[in-house]
Amino acid sequence: MTETEALNSIPYPHYYNATYKFSSGTTEWLVALQVNFFSNANPFVAMFLYKIGGDSGTNLAILGLDLQSNVSGWLNIILWNSQLEQNTTTVTAELHAGKPATFSVDMGLQVQVYTSFLYLPIPQEKIRVPITTTFHWPGPSS
């Protein structure tokens, strides 16, 4: 899949805040970050991962998120999930912002790169992908 095809396939509402690339060996991936707010609810983050080049036998497993923020102690992950789809892996997370603030965030996407040999996964390397964004959370409506 090309980078253009990947970005055009992002689900509703067909936008992204930023993109990031990372690689392992000759395989390259693209991450598109989408940050959404539903009225004054806590922020909801979606990351869409696409393989955009390299070895078809190299894949990823999502290990989790290593959230870091400039506002210490006030931003936490309520829940996160990853879902493997046909051409993408989607990682979603609902964040809890404990107070109104402007947050500089590194989602710290953690992945395990592996290759397959006779249907057995062979771990290659673990990578922490810095996925950064800044957003202002106004707090819950009164």
Position 85 scores a pLDDT of 86
As a whole number of angstroms, the distance between CA 42 and CA 36 comes to: 9
Report whether pLDDT(55) > 90.
no
141 pLDDT above the threshold of 70: no
The pLDDT value given to residue 39? 62
C-alpha span between 8 and 87 (Å, rounded): 12
Mean pLDDT within 108-122:
90
**CB-based contact 47:59 (threshold 8 Å):** no
Model pLDDT, residue 23:
95
* pLDDT at position 119 over 90: no
Average confidence score pLDDT of the chain: 89
Three-state SS at 43: coil
Alpha-carbon span 31 to 16, nearest angstrom: 10
pLDDT for position 142: 46
Lowest model confidence (mean pLDDT) among 26-30, 52-56, 105-109, 127-131:
52-56
Q: What percent of the chain has pLDDT over 70?
A: 95
Domains of the chain (ranges plus CATH)?
3-135 (2.60.40)
- Residue 70 pLDDT > 60: yes
pLDDT exceeds cutoff 60 at 11: yes
Q: What is the per-residue pLDDT across 26-51, written as a single tens digit (0 to 9) for each?
A: 999 999 999 887 766 778 899 999 99
pLDDT of residue 112: 96
Whether residue 62 contacts residue 82, with contact meaning beta carbons closer than 8 Å, is answered with: yes
